[in-house]
Amino acid sequence: MESKKKGEGKEAMKRTVPIWVTYVLILASIACIAFGICRGEVDTVLKKAINICMECIGLG
């Protein structure tokens, strides 16, 4: 069995990015979703999804 070097794995235990960054990014992603909904992107998604996508299935 390999002997363990001192300090090895410490980075593995700790967050390299502070937790507040995650929370800020979560808020930003929620804002993105809200903005997209307000712009009517949901309708674009629905319009594409309820018709058979010929490109997706390989027909053109």
User: Where do contacts with another protein occur on this chain (CB under 8 A)?
Assistant: 1-4, 8-10, 12-17, 19, 21-22, 25-26, 28-37, 39, 41-42, 44-50, 52-53, 55-60
Cβ 4 to another protein shortest distance, Å: 5
What stretches of 2-49 show up as alpha helix (H) in DSSP? 10-13, 19-38, 41-49
DSSP for residue 8: T
Distance of CA 30 to the CA centre of its chain: 11
Cβ 22 to another protein shortest distance, Å: 5
Cβ 33 to another protein shortest distance, Å: 4
CA distance 50 to 7: 55
